[in-house]
A and B are shown apart, each in its own frame.
Chain A
Amino acid sequence: MLEITRKALWDQRKNLLGWTIGLAGATFIYTGVYGIFDPTEFDTIMDSLPETMVQAFGWENMASPSGYLGSTVYGLVVPVLTVIFAIAFGTRLLAADEEAGTLELIVTYPVSRISLVLQRALTVAVAGLGVATVVFAVAALLAGPVELEVPLDNLLAASFQLGLLALVFGTLVMAIGGFVGRRGVVMGAAAAVAVVSYFGATIVPQIAGLEWFQNLSVFHFYDGAGVLEDGFVATDALILIGLSVILVALAAVGFNRRDIGTG
């Protein structure tokens, strides 16, 4: 049971370690910097920026501890890095594995295609929630020393949302990879979804009449900044989980019905 998950995590251990260090580092730097600035200076800077820009990037509450974390660690850098990680990682687990020819041997073993996809999707979930846990740990441990007062449960909830964000994009590339066994196609398509989704939650809703567009954006349901401020939103988390489940199901259906290794 779960031998494929175990092996995938083991094979990717160095890759995972690298990303974990990168994300922990980014969290460390942004959280640590908080102690250096005088919070009132943020207000001065924000006042000088265009209002729509401030709103787009969620910088309204930059001076408050949760506002700061929400606009830096959980607002831009770490979520974007996390999505890039999830896309790269999920691609390795299916499309790149197929394109390299290494998947052929495994599908000739007594493992059903569906089990293969489910076990690899579980790998994505473990990796995504794993890096989110590390981000949480770094932010939580550093918050005290730099006097960044954010409720721990909100921090945990935002980190969980981060893990779900990784899960959605990781399963998205698997869903595409379920139908197309080509690394470049899969990564390109997922990156396009990520970019549209990101701007769909930030810039586009600023345009009058297009506010509804944010409901199509994964980042809107991730909303790390909002969660840090106001706490866990179960419906948003459920939407992300439900989306991942659908994507995994699509991956399994696509992968189960086609030829392997013919591009």
Chain B
Amino acid sequence: MTIAITTGALTKYYGKQRGLDGLNLEVEAGEIYGFLGPNGAGKTTTIRLLLDVLRPTSGRAVVLGLNPRTEGVELRKRVGYLPGDFVVNGRQTSRQLFNHLGTLRGGINRRYLDELTERLGLDPTITIRSLSKGNRQKVGLVQAFMHRPELLILDEPTSGLDPMLQREFQAMAKEATAEGRTVFMSSHVLSEVQEVADRAGIIREGRLVAVDRVETLRERSVRRVEVVFDEPVPAQVFARIEGVEKVTVEGSTLRCQLRGSADEFVKAIARFGVASLLAEEQDLEEMFFAYYSDEADHA
């Protein structure tokens, strides 16, 4: 097993303000790694450190076997990067931008570039500033993928993309790893990475607090569920089910939290007439606490 990214006690302070506090990260070559955390947790700081945009206060990072600090040019040849806030000069078409960026990389594979723009439905002849936010995000994705890099570092890649394009992106990421390349992507919502990532790490207040297979995280994650029935229902029927917590019933409306498998719960509600069903993913902060209370239970 080769390692694509490893950091040791990577720390970044902006003056006195904490950016990253002793991060130990390990991303294997050929996997899709979801880097999860609420806004301000240090995801973007980490990514910028890996690319030598920022310089660490202390600690070290090794990316593709190289030191971003001293071997940055060599490293960045082999990396495709999508910034979290993708801004470029708007007074140019994406084609002009791709030509420029391709030249900086020493050449362009036109056929692959056309394939990417077609696939994402991006018209490269339109001036960037007249593109919608979603279309600008496509420009960012294309420039990250266009040289088939060994490592893709993507900061919130699916933000602004509609669900169909999110799936297209997921397919692109999976194809990259099928070719043995690595994807490191950040997100502040689990649902965006759970479909695609192999493993995920959760970062909170500048520290990595959990790393696990995505299935495990999903099993442990809690959904908020609201079911409206055709008629009033008894609460105790649902409270008994394993993984169902905090049950409240008001007339014909059931509210509860569901952890792990939904199978038994779905079968239980199916015995009544279901008028509507809503299941919401909890936010990461809640998930983190759920994760840890679970760890404590198992200990």
Instruction: Give which listed residue, A101, A111, A260, contacts B73 with CB less than 8 A.
Output: A111
Q: Decide if A101 touches B85 in the complex (CB within 8 Å).
A: yes
Assess A259 versus B53: contact at CB under 8 Å? Given A110-B104, A112-B73.
yes
Complex: how many Å from CA A112 to CA B81? 16
Q: Decide if A260 touches B104 in the complex (CB within 8 Å).
A: no
Assess A108 versus B100: contact at CB under 8 Å? Given A101-B85, A102-B87, A102-B89.
no
Assess A3 versus B103: contact at CB under 8 Å? Given A11-B92, A112-B72.
yes
List residues 122-146 of chain B with CB under 8 A from any CB of chain A.
143
Q: Decide if B89 touches A11 in the complex (CB within 8 Å).
A: yes
Q: Closest residue of chain A to B90, judged by CB?
A: A102
List residues 58-111 of chain B with CB under 8 A from any CB of chain A.
72-74, 76-77, 79, 81, 83, 85-89, 91-92, 100-101, 103-106
Complex: how many Å from CA A11 to CA B76? 24
Interface string of B221-235 (1 = CB under 8 A from A): 000000000000000
Q: How distant is A105 from chain B, measured CB to nearest CB, in Å?
A: 6
Complex: how many Å from CA A71 to CA B101? 46
Q: Decide if B55 touches A105 in the complex (CB within 8 Å).
A: no
Complex: how many Å from CA A100 to CA B86? 11
List residues 98-134 of chain A with CB under 8 A from any CB of chain B.
100-102, 104-112
Assess A109 versus B105: contact at CB under 8 Å? Given A104-B53, A260-B53.
yes
B54 at interface (Cβ–Cβ under 8 A)?
A: yes
B51 at interface (Cβ–Cβ under 8 A)?
A: yes
A262 at interface (Cβ–Cβ under 8 A)?
A: yes
A231 at interface (Cβ–Cβ under 8 A)?
A: no
Chain A CB within 10 Å, residue with most, of B74, B91, B101, B104 = B104
Q: Decide if B55 touches A108 in the complex (CB within 8 Å).
A: no
Instruction: Give which listed residue, A11, A110, A258, A261, contacts B91 with CB less than 8 A.
Output: A11
Q: How distant is B12 from chain A, measured CB to nearest CB, in Å?
A: 9
Q: Which residues of B contact A111 (CB under 8 A)?
A: 73, 104
Q: Decide if A260 touches B72 in the complex (CB within 8 Å).
A: no
Q: Decide if A258 touches B72 in the complex (CB within 8 Å).
A: no
Q: Decide if B104 touches A108 in the complex (CB within 8 Å).
A: no
Q: Closest residue of chain A to B81, judged by CB?
A: A108
Chain A residues within 8 Å of chain B by Cβ, number: 22
Q: Closest residue of chain A to B75, judged by CB?
A: A110
Q: Decide if B104 touches A3 in the complex (CB within 8 Å).
A: yes
Chain B residues within 8 Å of chain A by Cβ, number: 29
List residues 1-39 of chain A with CB under 8 A from any CB of chain B.
3-4, 7, 11
Q: Closest residue of chain B to A7, judged by CB?
A: B100
Q: Which residues of B contact A11 (CB under 8 A)?
A: 89, 91-92
Instruction: Give which listed residue, B53, B89, B105, contacts A107 with CB less than 8 A.
Output: B53
Complex: how many Å from CA A4 to CA B104? 8
Q: Decide if A260 touches B89 in the complex (CB within 8 Å).
A: no
Q: How distant is B184 from chain A, measured CB to nearest CB, in Å?
A: 14
Q: Which residues of B contact A261 (CB under 8 A)?
A: 48, 53
Q: How distant is B5 from chain A, measured CB to nearest CB, in Å?
A: 15
Q: How distant is B183 from chain A, measured CB to nearest CB, in Å?
A: 16
Complex: how many Å from CA A260 to CA B52? 9
Q: Decide if A105 touches B54 in the complex (CB within 8 Å).
A: no
Q: How distant is B243 from chain A, measured CB to nearest CB, in Å?
A: 43
Q: Which residues of B contact A102 (CB under 8 A)?
A: 87-89
Q: How distant is A126 from chain B, measured CB to nearest CB, in Å?
A: 17
Instruction: Give which listed residue, A7, A100, A257, contacts B87 with CB less than 8 A.
Output: A100
Q: Decide if B87 touches A260 in the complex (CB within 8 Å).
A: no
Q: Closest residue of chain A to B85, judged by CB?
A: A101
Q: Closest residue of chain A to B54, judged by CB?
A: A259
Complex: how many Å from CA A104 to CA B127? 20
Assess A105 versus B86: contact at CB under 8 Å? Given A111-B73, A112-B72.
yes
Q: Which residues of A contact B106 (CB under 8 A)?
A: 110
Q: Which residues of A contact B101 (CB under 8 A)?
A: 105, 109
List the 5 shortest-distance A-B pairs measured between CB atoms, nearest first. Answer: A110-B77, A101-B87, A3-B103, A259-B54, A110-B76
Interface residues of A (CB under 8 A from B): 3-4, 7, 11, 100-102, 104-112, 257-262
Query: Can you list 26 A-B pairs with a CB-CB distance of less than 8 A?
Result: A3-B103, A4-B104, A11-B89, A11-B91, A100-B87, A104-B53, A104-B83, A104-B87, A105-B86, A107-B51, A107-B53, A108-B52, A108-B76, A108-B81, A108-B83, A109-B76, A109-B104, A110-B104, A111-B104, A112-B72, A112-B73, A259-B53, A259-B54, A259-B55, A261-B48, A262-B54
